[in-house]
Structure 1
Amino acid sequence: LNAAPGWGTRLVAGAVVVTFMASYALFRDWERFGPLLLRHPTLLALDTLFGALLLVSAGPGSTLAYVSVCTPFLAGLIYGWRAAAVFASLQGLVLLLVHATLDNPHTGPAEALLLPGLCVVAGAAGSSLRQLMLRFTEATRALTEMRARLAVTEAVSAERARLAREMHDSVAKTLHGVALAADGLTRSAAAPDIDAARVRQQSGLVARSARRAAAESRELLADLRRESDPGHGTDVLAELAARTRDFHARTGLTATFRPTGGPAVPPVPPAVARQLLTIAAEAMENAHRHAGATRVEVLAGVHGGLLRISVHDDGRGLPPGTDLEQLRRTGHFGLIGMVERAASVGARIRVGRGTRTHGTEVRVDLPLAALTATTREA
């Protein structure tokens, strides 16, 4: 409207096209440019200034004037209601100045105030949408943590039930065998013609069975005590280091363990730690048996509120197109067992190349909130 014919109009049209193309590129690659815009609000202010220059040339009756309400909406969505108020006021002032520069007596106050009012509404809508998104994010995070807590609690309950079954099936049966052996020893000792060899055999059986029952009882009671005492969790890093050394000594493969992350890893409930350690041990065994690996690297630490355990080997890697259903059909249940163990404690497992160019990486992520909740409940 206000540009001179010829090159002036072409420059304004080109600037409008470039502006929309740049906006499309920003939204298409938002994961890269979004954090930059969050750290530097002045970029949005420069965009507003550039848009104002275009608006002066294009006129308040153009489509660009209606697009200008997106600026306060974006400010409210990214920075909150204060920024929405600032940019809505700034954009409204620009629109009023543009109307003031026009020599058009037919422009009434209502028409001049329409777009500034829309800027205020857009800013309020953006800040309201931001609050809804933040609340939705918090609710999603709380739901994820609750699911992880429930999964860990169920894993602990299932493990205690397993210990009770083992107590019944192992210790109780062993003690029953001790009782039967002792009855036989009593009958042999009370017989008129005592068989010394048979008495010695039955006495040895009683002694061995009693020692076995005592060992089984100590092991089960130790597990129960660790689970019932919130102050005695499992040091996962120390256990991983020990299992890595044992794997190296047993197989001869180069196996190293390295702690990663910043914060210290909290004690892990024994039932949960047993599942995590079993996954790591199974991943190392797969590298030795199936991958033809020469080196295994185990990493563990806290990353962004997650306990992360990673096992990487330099072997041949998984065949392309491998999935759980195919593994189940072919009878390969190792990876399926790892996935089921991770799901039982509320962890997420990924199997693939990871960030490496070759080999296989097994990575397990467990929310720390689930560990703290389980420790309090224990």
Structure 2
Amino acid sequence: MRTPFEAGVPLARTIHFRVYLLMALGVFFSIAAMAIAGWIKVRSLDGRLMQGRLRAAEAVAEHLDEQLRLDLELLLHVPTRQGFDLEDRESRPEREAMHEEYLHFRFPGMYLVNAQGEVVQEEPARGGAAPTTPPSLAGPFQQLLATGRPVVSNLLTPEDGGRLYQLVPVRNWQGRVVGAVGGRMDPTLARAVRVLRHLVPPGEGHADLLDGNGVVVASTDPARARRATECRGHLAELIAQKKPEVATCGGCHPARIYGAEQVRAFAPLSAAPWAVAVWQPRDAVVASGGEMPATFLGVVLVVAFFSALFAWGAARSVTEPIYVLTGEAERIATGELDEPIPDLGTDEVGRLAAALDRMRRSLAGLIREVGDANTELEKRVEARTAELAQVNARLREREAARRELLRKLIGAQESERKRIARELHDDTTQSLAVLVMGLEAASAALRSGAGQPRLDEVKALAVQTLEEVHRIIRDLRPSVLDDLGFYSAVRWYADNTLGSRGVDVRCEIAATSRRLPPEMETALFRVCQEALNNVARHAQAEKVLVQLEQQGDVLRIEIEDDGRGFDLASAGGASGGRPHFGLMGIRERVEILGGKLQVDSAPGQGTRLSIEVPVPPEVEA
């Protein structure tokens, strides 16, 4: 058997040359791929470390959000006090409400502002002096009037003492903003600084709390407080867009300022136009430090040498039997089929030689069978694809119909509630007001006679009825649901409904800060409202626990009391028992939302409601 060289075949066209070339290229690209994969792994680790800094900043931002929301909820308690009305002439209820809430307030001062922006009540009171209106309060108050929502201000000018304010709207029974309740925040923001210190080790950068103008409100570095931060314009845009970011900041922070390239993690707050920003040297954050380790290069060279040596031996052991097999294949191609192919052993090349003749005979039949099988498979795939498309179309139609039904049902319910509120105001409250005035006149006329009728008690009853009607109007659509969302509204309603009756109520909320869809928030609030009203009217409970928890795409609600309970067998009207229409309404609302309701109760054992509702994924605007 002649070798390719003896047959005069050019070196570049021989399999010997190609095997050696391909083995060499394989070794080279393998080493290169290993080096690239290692480097990509290191860079991926760098990215995860940087994302870790961002997650830490976002966790601190969520903690600060929760603190701000608790402060806003405390301020929202003031206008919901009994008798609180900025549009009447009686200031005693407002003054008592301000003073009582100030005793629990965590900030230096509180203000009650009328619709003209004038401070009418101030805590702590200034003795006999009239309340003063800080000039710095005008800007945040105008922002509240423009939006109708709670406001957390930016850091004001040094001339105003660098003040920060929190304001919530005060609404009348029509839902119109007629004033605001505000709190002056601690200028040092010591609570925020204590949390920010957990983000950076000492000497490895700093963490700042920025306002919407890019000014440092609080910082782990006291020298940075009340100053404009680096990258001010870019960070102000990110705050306005509520967009988190982690990036290497070299243009704004050259070596002459910090001595090293900086990594910036930025997380905006949702309850205020603020953000948490963390700056650290790049070498203190990432794993690679931006350079290829020298030991890694040495390992690559050693691996490359031994791989090339092994590749040369492997190529030589393969090429020799291939020379023989090539010659036999050329002989078979010329039609010489009498002489058998020499025995080349039991390895892959030997088995290839033994199978060569069998492959020639069966190849045509196999091609036909494969063609038929492919044709049948394509038909089945097309049929199954059409079936899946039809099923998916039906599912989408049903989902769209369910959502449209939910939207129309909730919209109809809310329209009916608003209509009832208008009728109560137009008819009932006006009639009661006329009754009060008539009784007042009769009482005055009778006082001049000999006898003294008990008209004062009737008058007091009428006034109490009038206040209760106003309270019912407010409960039909509480403003806290629109301003702070479902979770804060449930906490507020539980405190107002049960706390005012002497019931020990505790709310535990574990959920993300994002708002649910408006229709879903309204339906869920009505479910919790009906459940809490049932507890207040029927349970005779002393303690109530309300738990709201969102895990992934499921929202769980549990309301448990230690009241007298009831018989579940008669809850639906079975065995002649009276049906529980409150539970029926709750179950219908939950089923409309695609959720599940479970009720556990027994006479004398209290009641526990468990609700699970799917939460739609968040959609970016």
Larger-Rg structure: 2
Q: Which has the higher helix share?
A: 1
Q: Which has the higher contact order (CA 8 A, sep 6+)?
A: 1
